[in-house]
Structure formats: C-alpha cells, structure tokens
Structure 1
Amino acid sequence: MGPRVQLPPEIQLAQRLAGNEQVTRDRAVRKLRKYIVARTQRAEGGFTHDELLKVWKGLFYCMWMQDKPLLQEELGRTISQLVHAFQTTEAQHLFLQTFWQTMNREWPGIDRLRLDKFYMLMRMVLREALTALRTQGWDERQTEQLLELLTTEILHPDSEAPNGVKSHFIEIFLEELTKVGAHELTADQNLRLIEPFCTIAAQTQDSLVLHNIAQGIFETIVEQAPLAIEELMNELEEEELSEEEELSEEEALSEEEAQEPGVLSRESPKGSVCRAQRPLDKQAEDDDEDSASPVLQFDYKAVADRLFEMASRQDTPPQNRKRLYKVVRKSVAHFQMGGPSSEIALGGPSLGGRPRPHPSRRPCVSGRHAKEALGSDLSPGSTRKRRRRRAGGDPAVPRERPGGHGGRGAPRRQRRPRVGAKAKMAGCQEPKAKRKRTPEGQK
C-alpha cells in the first residue's frame, strides 16, 4: 500500500465546508478565517486564482446545505465578512472576483427553493465590499478598481453573468450603497460610482439590461430627489437650531455669572415636570431620526448632462438613445414643471461635502438629437405664424375675407336670442296684445 497523498489545505477546507454535518461546516468556516489571516500576513504569501475558486466552491455548498432561515442569514454574514480577513487590497479584490465567477458558474444549477438564500448572499457580499471601500476613505484608485471588477464580471456584455445575477445586482446596488455611504459620500463621488451604469446603458445590446439600469438606477435617483432635498433642508435647519442653542447657552451662562449671590436661580427643581419633559422630547427626536432612511445626494443636473452626453454619441444604438433621452426628459421635467420641490435642484458644494440647492436649469441641449431629446417648446401661436410665413403671407397685415363685402365669404354668425326672450314655436298661437283702456273724456 503506497503512501497517502496529502491534499492541499484549500481542498481539505472545501471538503469540510461542504460536509453533511453542521458542526463540521461551522468549524471549517472558523478555520478558514484563521487560515486566510495567517497566509495573507506574509509578504510572499497570498492566494492564487485557482485556490480561491476552490475555497468559494466549498463556501457555495456550505450555503447550499444550510436550510434554516435564521442560520442562513448568520452564515451569509459570516461568509461575506471573510473579505475583511485579507490583509491586502489585491487579495480582497481577488476574493470578490472569484465569488462573482463562482456565482456565474453555479447559477444555472440553483433551484427556485434556494434562490432567496443566494440572493441574500450576493447582497451581503456587495455590502461588505462597499464597507471595505469605506474603511479606506473612499479612495479614488480603490474605487476605480472595484468598479472595474464589478463591470467586468457582471455588467459587461462579454461577461458570463446570467440575467438573474445581472438583474439582482442592478436592483441592489443603490440600496446597499445608500446603507453604507449615504452620510459620507458627496455628489461627485456618487456620480463616479454610477459611471459604469451610464457607460453600459449607452453600449449594451441587451434590452433587459438597458431596462433594468434605466429603471433601477436612473429613475430611482430621480424619484428619490424630493427626499434628498428634504433631508438636506432638515440638516440645514438642525445646524441653525444647534447654533441658536449654543448662543442661548452662552447667554444663560453670562446671565448666571452676572447674577448676585443672593438671587435665586430660575432653573426648576430636579423633580419638576419641566425638567423630566426634556429627555422624552429628545428621545422622540432620536426615534424620528432613526425611522428616517438616508438618501444618496446627487447633482441632478450633472447626472442629466452625463446621460445626454452618452446618448448623443454616434455609436449609441437608437434604442439606447431613445431610452436615455426619456430619462433626461423625466429628470428635467421633474425639476422644472413638476414635483413638490421643483424650484430647486441639487448641485455644488454644501455642508458636510453635500450638494447645496440651487435653481434648476435645463441641461444644455445641442446637436442633431436635441429636438428628439427635449421636444419642441414652440407655442401654437408661433407655429401658426411660421406656417403663414412659409405660405408667403405677412402675419402683421390683416387678411380680408375672400368674398369682400358683397361676395361670398365665411358665413356670419347667427345672433343668439336674448336671455328671457320668448321662443316662437311652430304650431302655437301668440296671445293677443291687450288693448289699453282710455278714459272717457279723451275719446
């Protein structure tokens, strides 16, 4: 009997991750995390592409074997947080790349009863990837690398991603980005993060991808605009209130210092109702803040201009151009003609790196596709004047009737009977007029 072949640690971990016993799988997940930390700490260490594919195959079937919903959520959170165990950014991106490649490869074999757990796993992995980007301060270079990875593996027409993976990724991208970076990202950073969707929407030949991007990304941004404006106004009001409170506290301190020692303080005693009421109000305000969901801030004019620029290119397919122009018209109409806050749009710097409201303006439209993009703004009167000029007539000179005074012209309007006048009906006799009685002396 020959010596037993020692399998690589990645294959051993993958076999244990796909085991039948839950205790074995949980223990394998914990060992995998320790193994990742220990191996990526070394300068010459790290994982290869094939090794991480084997690890993800074991993690995939580890999720496959978990049936209870609460345990599925806990396992999905544990698996997605493995990205933070890698010590280098390159290793993290390789881990994410092999995850999406594994999902693309295994997606056709997932039955409908197990779809929800893998939808949840994709959502959690995307959230942790954005969280890792936030810990690096939303670095531009790291952001570009992550967006390029996601575009290559999911959105690009040459990728092997099935329609289910593409559609779900487009649906959850803005939601997870809002949860992770709504309080930190500026309008310029948000525009940079949706740049791949603008490019794919202008180039793709897949009508399903185009529809999902237009509806799940661009139209969602336009629909959330009133909420973003309201949130920005609330922040400005809160800052004004905080400044007023600081001023009032300073005035109160100055008054207390100026008071004589014998004067009693105006502050209510500790057991009074007024003193106990303040924490309740503060707690109610905190509850309201927790219930209000954050919204991503965008420079909506810049978004409309970017979409119009991508749609106006000569290599853009007509179907894509028409769909993008529809989004541009909708965004412009939302801020110019409709919406509860149509007088303002967001743009420019503001407090905390957010955009400040300014009067909305229609994006600059020029070129041969301008009429198709924004439609005609001519009034009916100006249209009639143009038709007369083309026919050779002068709109300033009044035109005479064709028949003159005695000829046949346009039929005259019939006079309407006066209000209260008695209508004469055929077949009815009119009452005789009453004769006036004259005095006998005048006969």
Structure 2
Amino acid sequence: MASSSASPTPPLAKYLASTDKKTRDKAVRNLSAFLSDPERPHLSSHDMDKLWKGIFYCFWMSDKALVQQALASELANIVLSINDNTASLEFLRGFWRTIVREWDGIDRLRMDKYYLLIRRFVNATFRLLTRSDWDSGLCQVYNDILTTRGGPLCHDDSRVPMSLKYHLADIYLEELDKVLAWDPEAGDPSPPPVPIDTLISPFLTLIARTPSSHTFERVMSAVLEPLVESLTPPGSDEPPSKKRRRLLGNEMTFVADNSRASDLSTPDKSSLRRVLLKQVFSVASEEDTRDSNRRRLYKFWKSNLDDDEGAHDASHGVDAS
C-alpha cells in the first residue's frame, strides 16, 4: 500500500474496497497522503475513475451512522488537503463522474448515506473556493465539472438521475450558507463574498434547457426563488406562502449578506437582486433555451421586476410576454 509515485493506483483502489475495515481505514489514510503528494504523477481520467471505484465501495461497506459520518467527512476533506487546487478539482471531477455512474445501483437502505456524502463534498468544495477567494478560474472549472457530460447538472446526459439533480438543488444554497456563516462577536474572520451569479449559473443553464418540467420546478423552488426572495427588501412583497417559507428555511442569511455579483465588488441586496434577474432574462433569451422554459423564465423575471427595472428594460424594447 505504498503511496510512492512508482506505485500505480489500482492496488490502492483494491485496498480501499477491501472487506476488512482496518485495511480500508489504512487505505483511506494512504489515499490522502498519495493525493496530497506534490511529487506524484498526474492521474489520467482512467486512473482517477479506478481510484474512485475503490473509494465508492469503501464508503459502500461503511456501517453504523457515526462511522459513515466520520468517513464522509474524511473523504470530503481530502479535497482540502491536496496542495494544488487544480488537482483538488480533478479529484472532485472523479467523485461526480463516479456518483453519476453508480447512482442507479445504490439500494434504498444505502441511499441516505450517499446523500450525506454528497453534502460533505459540496460543503468541502465551497470551502476550497472560499480559500481561493472565489478565484474566477476555479469557479469556472467547478461549473464545468457540474454541467459537462458525466456531471450531475448536465441537462442532456440521460445517465444523470433526476433524484441526483434534485438532491444537489435542495442542498446547494444550504451548504453555501453554512460555509459563509461567521460570528463577528466571536472574532471570526469575515469570509470573502461569493460571486453568487457565477455559482448559480449551472442551475440556470439546467432550467433553461431541461426537457423535464419536474426538474425545472424543483430547481426554481429550491434555488432561484428562495435566492431572489432572500434579496427582496422587507415590505416590498407580500409575505411568502407557507410552502415558500418552508423552502426558505433559515432564509439564507449568510448567503444574502455575503454575496456579490462577479463584476461588482460590494453591491447592496437590491442591486444584486437586479443582477440575478438580469441573468435570468439573459438565460431565457438564449437560442438553446427550450421555448416552454423560456416562457416560464420570462414570467418569473417579469413578476419580480421593480419599477426601475421595468423602465430600464422598456427603454430597450424588451417584450417578455
């Protein structure tokens, strides 16, 4: 189980998938050291997939809730332990390719723990991007991981199960809010503001192009509607419905207070809300947007306009009817 650069990855994958827990635990420790080694050779996609096959079954065989929680955190934290951000994202790409490929084979009794694993990886990825001060290049690579074929938000990859898209939509802003949480009274450092328009763009592309009405509705209700609602000034709208309040949850306090647009350093909430609505309109206007989705996106955009936005867009001859 040596992790030297001369050691190929398949033996390590075999140890990760061992039926013996001690062997698996040792393999996980070696995995972290191996991937964090700056001297190791670059792993091809084929070798990364072999490695992730072993990791997947290592987690598959983990029993008892506390063991599963600890292992999920340990595996996700490898994203942060790798010294090179590019290598971290390649490890993450291997994770999503494997999850998409293996998802339909996960039985009902094991599904919850894989939902947990996904939560941990989404959280670790946000921490990685926060550590990089939301580097625009890394954010774009991350979005590419999510949206290209083999990624969980790819709109035209039939291998991606809807339940996986739904879960990612459900937890995305919740995990981001956790990462952005800070307490100034406790002396916590303020996190760098997140370029929220960049971070949600994979979901906007998905709802623009998905042929599934259910996917459109789930992403709208779990991502776009609560986000725009969190940036709406108090008193400017009617109170959210009971369903809307449930979806808003903790109202994403930290996301709303620690977000910016990619081209604005410190916008207020109203300005950021306008940026997001403009982004919705732009996506709706794209040639590849499905006509039925285009109409629904225009309707959402129009229903959330304030007077200034309406005047601005009217001056540009916009017809979103």
Question: Where on the TM-score scale, by shorter chain, does this alignment land: which range?
Answer: 0.7 to 0.9
Superposition TM-score, scaled by structure 2 size: 0.76
1:195 to 194, 201, 223: 201
1:157 aligns with 2:155: yes
Deviation of 1:15 after TM superposition, in Å, equals 1.9
Mapping for residues 200-211 of structure 1, pairs under 5 Å: 200-211=206-217
1:96 to 92, 102, 113: 92
Moved more, 121-130 or 202-211: 202-211
Looking at secondary structure, tell me which structure has more helix per residue.
Answer: 2
Deviations for 1:248-307, whole angstroms, at most 9, x for unmatched residues?
A: xxxxxxxxxxxxxxxxxxxxxxxxxxxxxxxxxxxxxxxxxxxx9523345111211221
2:125 to 124, 129, 151: 129
Give the equivalent residue in structure 1 for 2:185: none
Equivalents in 2 of 1:191, 1:363: separation in Å?
23
Equivalents in 2 of 1:363, 1:316: separation in Å?
25
1:113 aligns with 2:109: yes
Equivalents in 2 of 1:138, 1:47: separation in Å?
25
2:312 to 364, 371, 382: 364
Structure 2 unaligned residues grouped into runs of 5+: 1-5, 182-189, 236-251, 260-268
Deviation of 1:369 after TM superposition, in Å, equals 3.2
Moved more, 192-201 or 126-135: 192-201
Mapping for residues 205-284 of structure 1, pairs under 5 Å: 205-225=211-231
Deviation of 1:176 after TM superposition, in Å, equals 1.6
Superposition TM-score, scaled by structure 1 size: 0.57
Residue pair 2:143, 2:202 contacting (<8 A) in 1 also: yes
Give the equivalent residue in structure 1 for 2:19: 20
94 and 229 in structure 1: CA distance in 2 versus 1, 3 angstrom threshold? farther
For residue 168 of structure 1, what is the amino acid of its counterpart? H
Deviations for 1:163-214, whole angstroms, at most 9, x for unmatched residues?
A: 1221111222111222223653547x11222223223322332323222221
Mapping for residues 402-421 of structure 1, pairs under 5 Å: none
Query: What SS does the aligned partner of 1:166 have?
Result: helix
Give the equivalent residue in structure 2 for 1:432: none
1:58 aligns with 2:51: no
1:328 to 285, 298, 301: 301
Give the equivalent residue in structure 1 for 2:290: 317
Deviation of 1:329 after TM superposition, in Å, equals 3.6
Equivalents in 2 of 1:363, 1:190: separation in Å?
25
Residue pair 1:18, 1:61 contacting (<8 A) in 2 also: yes
Equivalents in 2 of 1:75, 1:316: separation in Å?
40
149 and 314 in structure 1: CA distance in 2 versus 1, 3 angstrom threshold? closer
Equivalents in 1 of 2:318, 2:128: separation in Å?
44
Mapping for residues 62-73 of structure 1, pairs under 5 Å: 62-73=58-69
Give the equivalent residue in structure 1 for 2:44: 48
Residue pair 2:146, 2:202 contacting (<8 A) in 1 also: no
Residue pair 1:83, 1:128 contacting (<8 A) in 2 also: yes
For residue 169 of structure 1, what is the amino acid of its counterpart? L
Larger Rg over CA atoms: 1
Give the equivalent residue in structure 1 for 2:186: none
1:33 aligns with 2:32: yes
Residue pair 1:304, 1:363 contacting (<8 A) in 2 also: no
Deviations for 1:393-426, whole angstroms, at most 9, x for unmatched residues?
A: xxxxxxxxxxxxxxxxxxxxxxxxxxxxxxxxxx
Structure 1 unaligned residues grouped into runs of 5+: 1-6, 231-291, 337-359, 373-443
209 and 103 in structure 1: CA distance in 2 versus 1, 3 angstrom threshold? same
202 and 53 in structure 1: CA distance in 2 versus 1, 3 angstrom threshold? same
Residue pair 1:305, 1:363 contacting (<8 A) in 2 also: no
293 and 321 in structure 1: CA distance in 2 versus 1, 3 angstrom threshold? closer
Identity %: 33
Query: What SS does the aligned partner of 1:295 have?
Result: helix
Give the equivalent residue in structure 2 for 1:82: 78
Residue pair 1:201, 1:320 contacting (<8 A) in 2 also: yes
223 and 96 in structure 1: CA distance in 2 versus 1, 3 angstrom threshold? same
For residue 161 of structure 1, what is the amino acid of its counterpart? V
For residue 204 of structure 1, what is the amino acid of its counterpart? T
Query: What SS does the aligned partner of 1:155 have?
Result: coil
Query: What SS does the aligned partner of 1:369 have?
Result: coil
Kindly indicate whether structure 1 or structure 2 has the higher relative contact order, using CA contacts under 8 Å at least 6 residues apart. 2
363 and 72 in structure 1: CA distance in 2 versus 1, 3 angstrom threshold? farther
Equivalents in 1 of 2:287, 2:23: separation in Å?
58
Equivalents in 1 of 2:32, 2:191: separation in Å?
30
For residue 118 of structure 2, what is the amino acid of its counterpart? M
Pairwise CA RMSD: 2.6
